[in-house]
Amino acid sequence: MRRPFVFAAATLLAACLLWPGWVGAFQSEGTVRIGGMWPLSGPAAFFGKAAHGLASLAVDEINEAGGLVVEGKRVKLALHAQDEACNAEQGLAVVKRLATVDKVIFSLGPGCSSVAEPVFGTLQKKLGDASDSGLQLLFFTDIATKFGLAKLSPWVFRNTPDEPAMYDFVVKYLKEKHPDLKTVMVSYESDFAHSAATWNLAVKPALERHKHHQIVEVVDWRWLDNEFGAQVTRLRKANADVYFSLTHTPSTCPSMLELKRQRVKPKMVIGITSLAGTEVLQQCPDVAAGIIAPSNFAPITPRAKQVADKAWERYKADSNIHSVPAYENVHLMKGLIEKAAIKNTEDTLLADRRKLRDQLAKVGTFQGVVGKITMRPEDDPVKPRDVDKDMILVQIKAAKWDVFWAPEHLKRN
Amino acid sequence: MGTALLDGTEQLINGLMYGCFYALVGGGFTLLFGVLRRFNLAYGSTIMAGAYAGLIPVYLFKAPVLVLFVTTIVVSVLVGLLVEFCCFRFLRKGHELAPLMTTIGMLIVIDETIVHLTDAVGLKYPAPFGDESLALGPFLIRPDYLAILVVSIACFSAIFWLMHRTRFGRAMRAVAERPEAAQILGVSVRRVNVLTFVLTSAMAGIIGFFAAVSVGSARPEMAAWLTGKGLVVMVLGGLGSFPGAILGGLALGVLEFEAVWFLGSSYRDILAFSILFLILMVRPGGLLGSRPA
Amino acid sequence: MEYYIAIASIIGIHAMLGLSVYLVAISGQMSFGQQGFFALGAYLAGMSTALWGLHLLPALALGVVVAAVVGLLVGFPALRVRGLYLAIATFGFGEIVRLAFLNVRYTRRIGDRVVGPNASEGFRHVRYIYDRGITPLEYLGIILLALAVVVVLFFVLERSKLGATLRAVEEDEVAASMVGINVTRAKVFGFTAAAGVAGLAGGLFVHYSSYIDHDMVALPLAIASVTYPIFGGLGSFVGPLLGAVVLVGLTESLRALHDAREIIYGALIILTMLFRPRGLVDEALVLRVKGWLRPRAVRRPAPAP
């Protein structure tokens, strides 16, 4: 007699456990809802949690200063963060949740390009096209740097590093300031699109364009490999002056350790942009000492230092090249939301998103944490809806990132 | 041609030494499978948990490397016992696939706990064997690989001695060959199972220490990587055959090192899996398969 | 609403993947490589619509056929081994497929875009359903229709001679062969059909997500595909369906737990397996349900002599 009862109770518990989402009332709390989908668990959690923290800090600052003005009233910002876990299936579900359950006006993220590709690829491709069943949600991305993502939809804008320009500068800098360094060897991760693309679409073209350096060896490995002996032996034999280690921390650390073991000492080591954060300082500060990386962020101005300190203090969030854009984006969007004159009701959500999108498309130049940022227009032939930012070169010294080179106008701040 | 031969030989030497490491991992899987007749997919996570936990005394009181090593083994044993309790103890005979799933669940719990506590960032490991390769003639030999070679030989010898010269070893082999008969003859199968977990978990601690030392850090990707290699080595050598695991590990090590040198890392894994496939077609019981396919 | 449609779409596709593993499992083999056929189906169906201008149905069919043919070619040698050997061999196959696509570059310029599988960059712009204005709800209908077709085929299979043959092979291969069952043919058939089903799931997925790359068909998908039937139960095809519903549902519903989400997920799997070691829908439950459904007349005890 007890069996059916247990069965029914188990079914009820299962039903409650499986119910995927409780819908909150819209706008009754008097907020403007913004979203963020980041990898808060899984292999990229470090970057996702950092961006989440920086975004939360920006939201806090805005709300503490009184919030924003919508329809003549003061309302607060509410950040709805969702975990995409660096997984495409979860990303596709979560974006719908942000768009239709949390009903956000725009979203930050995603963090992983394997999530960004399907999510952006399923957005509406032509504005106002009724025959396109893609999703209409505005994205202002902070982390995902894969080449060409912003071209996937007019709803995607990005505040991410411009690697071709950054590495072009690096090669030019090397040519002008260290002309005696002529030979170059390169390593990249063949299964990590960002790394392979940094080599093929940023560094290699830059080296070919400036015609100063000779590429003597190119090796590759998998980004989660554990053994680098063969590739480093090739590097040792090449013995070039400059070593472009275009690899992420998980393979940079063990490969640099192997370089040390085999006594390979290039005169200069240039890293990938994503290296410029605390991940590498925690994992291998000694073998990575001296690596120079192009970055958009370092605590070199008082404001930058303040942001980095506050983000760490409040949210234990690391301020780096990928997370600080989240902070910049939220602050910019606050002003744009007010300028867009949104109505902030459930029925006008799509129209509000469109108004905000149009504001972002013509924003031009705005202030970032370290320097100025310029959003390229939609008809830009090279990288529409991507940004140009001031760049700096940072170097690992004494287990910290130091400024190696910064443009004059930033140093004066 | 001369360089190719020299390079090939250097990779052979490195491959054999690293292969000892693979042999240890495969051996751990094999011992467990041999006695319990079940797969512990949480073994890789046990190894990783030990490797991470070893850093706790280093962070707390700057403990020396020996303490790290011992802590790794102790924690691995504790985690291994937890795995035995949660995933194996209450599953009766006849439920063959259930331990597969419970250990997958355990793998998720352990891995996610570590990721949660460390934000998926690798943590630096010391280099107790020095950080410069030794020059032996024309070859560069890694000191930590030499250490792995020495420790593996010690481990394998210890296990052979245990299995063939002690009462416990006899009990283990009895349970592995004929569990019912062993039970009738008074062998406590439960005790043998638990002690097998202790033994393989202690091995896991040693494996975790050397894996982290050779990479330079404890990383969240360790578990999946070790599980993959361990299973391949176990299958290559022949399920349940400990000597087979040693042979399989060495073979895999040499294959990988030579493949990366001559073909590049893109083809290493494709080649390894293709050869594995071929070997299984030709010898369905693995290289030294003691059980019929 | 769209959120639940998205969840249901993933459930539908993953349930099909789970059914693919199930089909191999009921003939006694555990395949850890169905994600390889999933990848084949996804890439081929994606190329069909994005590069060669085919419509959805022929594209999906091509994905199924290619996956099945590869399944046939792989099945013959692979099924010579059993148990963990087969599991590793099939996982190895899955990895070979994944790594092959990591190295394949086959692109064409269509309009202003570069379309096609592009090694580590992946394969984007598979926009067939979005460009034609097929709404998510309509596409969910397509997914569920495909799933229904697969389920009906399974239903028929379970009742047919072939189904009995497969289960006989699972029970005891030697006995089955003594009764005249061509064991190899039965196993290979199961494996080929399972490959086709996985290929269909892949084709449906790539059009849902508009993108596929090597990272999406790696070890995590292998583990997920095996989890659905083992957790859901191997007693009947309802098992993997229920497994997909519960596990994908849990992934979404546990979001409220934030950081502890994955840990609770793993713990729930362990607990469930301890209480139901043969899965949710195991053979015992199936027998009991069949007993309920049998007409009462049959169950009346025989009259006393």
Q: Pick from C88, C230, C278: which is nearest to B232 by CB?
A: C88
Q: Is B48 on the interface with C (CB under 8 A)?
A: no
pLDDT value at position B285?
A: 74
Taken in order A289, A159, A90, C198, is the CA torsion positive or negative? Answer: negative
Residue at B34 is within a domain: yes
pLDDT per residue as tens digits for the range A14-56: 666 666 655 444 555 679 999 999 999 888 888 999 999 999 9
Residue of B nearest to A234 (CA): B261
Overall number of domains in chain B? 1
H or E segment and range at residue A269: strand A268-271
Nearest CA in chain A to C7: A93
Question: Is the separation of the CB atoms in C102 and C164 below 8 Å?
Answer: no
Note whether C31 and C90 are within 8 A (CB).
yes
Q: Looking at residue B94, what is its pLDDT?
A: 65
Cβ(B266)–Cβ(A220) below 8 Å: yes
Reading the block at residue B291, the tokens are 């059980």
The beta-carbon neighbor of B120 closest among A42, A230, A253 is: A42
Going by C-alpha positions, the residue among A308, A157, A182, A169 that lies closest to residue A238 is A182
In order of their start, the domains of chain A are 31-161+301-386 (3.40.50.2300), 176-275 (3.40.50.2300)
Residue C139 has pLDDT above 90, yes or no: yes
Q: How far apart are CA B174 and CA B196, in angstroms?
A: 13
Chain A adjacent subunits, 3+ CB pairs under 8 A: B, C
> What is the nearest CA distance from A271 to chain C, expressed in angstroms?
20
For residue B170, give the amino acid letter. Answer: R
CB atoms within 10 A of CB A270: 25
Q: Give B3's contacts in chain A (Cβ within 8 Å).
A: none
Q: What is the mean pLDDT of residues B170-177?
A: 84
Structural domain includes residue B113: yes
pLDDT top residue among B287 and C277: C277
Buried-exposed string B120-157: b where 16+ CB fall within 10 A, e elsewhere: bbbbbbebbbebebeeeeebbbbbbbebbbebbeebbe
Integer angstrom CA distances of residue C269 from B224, C8, C82, C212, C273: 19, 21, 26, 28, 6
Nearest alpha-carbon partner for C30 in C63, C78, C76? C78
Q: Structural domain of residue B181, as residue ranges? A: 2-282
Say which CATH number the domain at B156 has. Answer: 1.10.3470
Partners of C270 on chain B (C-beta within 8 Å) are: 86-87, 102, 105-106, 109
Residue B38: its pLDDT value, please?
82
CB contact under 8 A, A220 and B264: yes
Mean pLDDT of B273-289: 80
Q: Is the pLDDT of residue A5 over 70?
A: no
| Residue B281 token pair | 């077609």
Residues from chain A that touch B217, judged by Cβ atoms under 8 A, are: 253-254, 283-284
Helices B43-53 and B189-215 meet at what angle, rounded to 10? 60
CB-nearest partner of B101 from C95, C99, C227:
C227
Q: Do A225 and B265 touch (CB under 8 A)?
A: yes
Is C102 in CB contact (< 8 Å) with chain B?
Answer: yes
Say if B24 falls within a structural domain.
yes
Distance from CA of B193 to the nearest CA of A (A): 32
The DSSP call for residue A86 is: T
Q: Closest to A133 (Cβ–Cβ): which among C130, C213, C259?
A: C130
pLDDT at B91: 81
Instruction: Determine the distance in angstroms separating the CA of C236 from the nearest CA of chain A, rounded to an integer.
Output: 19
pLDDT score recorded for residue A278: 86
Q: Domain ranges for chain C, please list them.
A: 2-297
The pLDDT score that the predictor gives to residue C292 is: 81
Confidence bin at A187 (pLDDT 50/70/90) = very high
Contacting residues of A for C9, CB less than 8 Å apart: 92
Q: Between chains, do B221 and A224 touch, taking CB under 8 Å as contact?
A: yes
Chain-centroid distance of CA A98 in Å reads 19
Q: Is the pLDDT of residue C295 over 70?
A: no
pLDDT given at position A1: 40
**Searching chain A, which residue's CA lies closest to the CA of residue C11?**
A89
Q: How confident is the model at residue B163, as a pLDDT?
A: 87
CA–CA min distance C233, chain B (Å): 10
Decide yes or no: CATH 1.10.3470 for domain C2-297: yes
Strands A68-70 and A73-83: antiparallel
Written as six digits, the tokens of B230 are 């361990």
Share above pLDDT 90 across residues of chain C, in percent, rounded to a whole number: 54
- Residues of C within 8 A of B106 (CB-CB) are 266, 270
Nearest CA in chain A to B226: A226
Mean pLDDT of chain A: 91
Chain B residues within 8 A (CB-CB) of chain A?
Answer: 7, 10-11, 14, 18, 112, 115-116, 119-124, 127, 131-133, 140, 142, 211, 214-217, 219-221, 225, 256-257, 260-261, 264-266
- pLDDT at C246 (0 to 100): 92
Position A339 scores a pLDDT of 93
User: A375 has which bridge partners?
Assistant: A387
Please give the backbone phi and psi of residue A363, each rounded to the nearest 5 degrees, phi first: -70, -25
Q: Measuring CA to CA, which residue among C55, C35, C38, C72 is closest to residue C201?
A: C38
Question: Do residue B277 and residue C262 have CB atoms under 8 angstroms apart?
Answer: no
Question: Using one digit for the tens of pLDDT, what is the confidence trace for A333-376?
Answer: 999 999 999 999 889 999 999 999 999 999 999 999 988 999 99
The nearest CA of chain A is from the CA of B289 a distance in Å of 29
**Interface probe with C: pick from B111, B270, B271, B287, most Cβ of C within 10 Å:** B270
Predicted pLDDT of residue B292: 44
Distance from CA of C111 to the nearest CA of B (A): 32
C96 touching B (Cβ < 8 Å): yes
Percent of chain A, pLDDT > 70? 92
Question: Cβ contact (<8 Å) for B122 and A283?
Answer: yes
Q: How far apart are CA B200 and CA A61, in angstroms?
A: 53
Task: State the nearest Cα–Cα gap between A45 and chain B, in angstroms.
Answer: 6
What is the C-alpha separation between A284 and C201, in angstroms, rounded?
43
CA B96 to chain centre: 23
Residue of B121, B132, B227 to mutate when probing chain A, most A C-beta within 10 A: B121
Q: What is the mean pLDDT of residues A58-74?
A: 93
Q: How far apart (Å, rounded) are the C-alpha atoms in residues B266 and C108?
A: 24
Please give the single-letter amino acid code of residue A183: T
CB of B104 less than 8 A from some CB of C: yes
Measured CA to CA, the distance from residue A47 to residue A278 in angstroms comes to 10
Torsion B263-C220-A146-C213 (CA) sign: positive
Q: Contact A261/B142, CB-based, under 8 Å?
A: yes
C106–B contact, CB cutoff 8 A: no
Work out whether strand A31-38 and strand A73-83 pair parallel, antiparallel, or are unpaired: parallel
**In 3D, which of C89, C40, C76 has the Cα closest to residue C191?**
C76
Q: Mind telling me how many Å the CA of B145 is from chain C's nearest CA?
A: 27
Beta carbons of C85 and B270 less than 8 Å apart:
no
Q: Distance of CA C32 to CAs A25, C217, C221, C224, C227, Å?
A: 44, 12, 10, 10, 10
* CB-based contact A44 B18, cutoff 8 Å: no
Cβ–Cβ contact B286 with C under 8 A? yes
Look at A230 and B219 and tell me if their CB atoms are within 8 Å: no
Chain A contact probe: residue of C11, C14, C118, C130 with most A CBs at under 10 A: C130
Quick: pLDDT tens for A126-136.
Answer: 998 888 999 99
Give A302→chain C minimum CA distance, Å.
Answer: 33
Answer whether residue C40 shows pLDDT above 90. yes
Domain assignment present for residue B293? The answer is no
Interface contact flag, B257 A43, Cβ < 8 Å: no
CA of C95 to nearest chain B CA: how many angstroms apart?
7
**What pLDDT shows up at residue B1?**
57
Q: What is residue A41's predicted lDDT score, i.e. its pLDDT?
A: 86
Across C60-79, average pLDDT: 93
Q: What is the pLDDT of residue A212?
A: 94
CA angle, corner A63, sides to A59 and A68, nearest 5?
100
CB under 8 Å to A88, separation ≥6 — which residues?
A114, A115, A117, A118, C209, C211, C216
Contacts of C214 in chain A (CB under 8 A): 191
Is C73 part of the contact surface with chain B (CB cutoff 8 Å)? no
Is the CB of B239 less than 8 angstroms away from the CB of C219?
no
Q: Give pTM, 2 decimals.
A: 0.91
Q: Chain centroid to CA B219: how far?
A: 16
Integer Cα distance of A62 and A65 in angstroms: 5
Q: Which chain A residues are Cβ-neighbours of C125 within 8 angstroms?
A: 121
- Whether residue C284 lies within 8 A of chain B, CB to CB, comes out as no
Cα→Cα distances C71→A111, B155, B238, C198, Å? 36, 42, 25, 10
Tell me how far the alpha carbon of residue A399 is from its chain's centroid: 23
Q: How far is the alpha carbon of A312 from chain B, nearest alpha carbon, in Å? A: 14
**What are the tens digits of pLDDT across the range B17-73?**
999 999 999 999 999 888 888 889 999 999 999 999 999 999 899 989 999 999 999
